[in-house]
Amino acid sequence: MRKRLFVHYEALGQLGHACFILLLICGGAYLLAWVLMFTPVPRIGPIQLAQVRNS
C-alpha cells in the first residue's frame, strides 16, 4: 500500500500529501495502541496510612 500511495502522489506532483496520509495512519495507530495499553490499568491514588500509636 505504501509504495502505491507514494507512486500515485509522486505522479501527481503532490508527494507531501502521501507523507501526510502516512503520518495520519501511523499517528492514529500510535494513539489507538496508547489507549488500549492504558485503559485497563487501574488509576493510582494516594495511599491512606493508618496512624501507628506508640505504646
Number of structural domains the chain divides into: 1
5 CB contacts (<8 Å, ≥6 apart)?
18, 21, 22
* Boundaries of domain holding 30: 2-38
DSSP output for 9-23: HHHHT-HHHHHHHHH
The answer to whether residue 21 is domain-embedded is yes
The answer to whether residue 47 is domain-embedded is no
The answer to whether residue 51 is domain-embedded is no
Residue 9 phi/psi, 5-degree rounding, is -75, -25
The answer to whether residue 8 is domain-embedded is yes
Q: Which pLDDT tens digits describe the chain residue by residue (55 residues)?
A: 667 878 888 899 998 988 899 999 999 999 999 999 888 877 777 777 776 666 5
The answer to whether residue 54 is domain-embedded is no
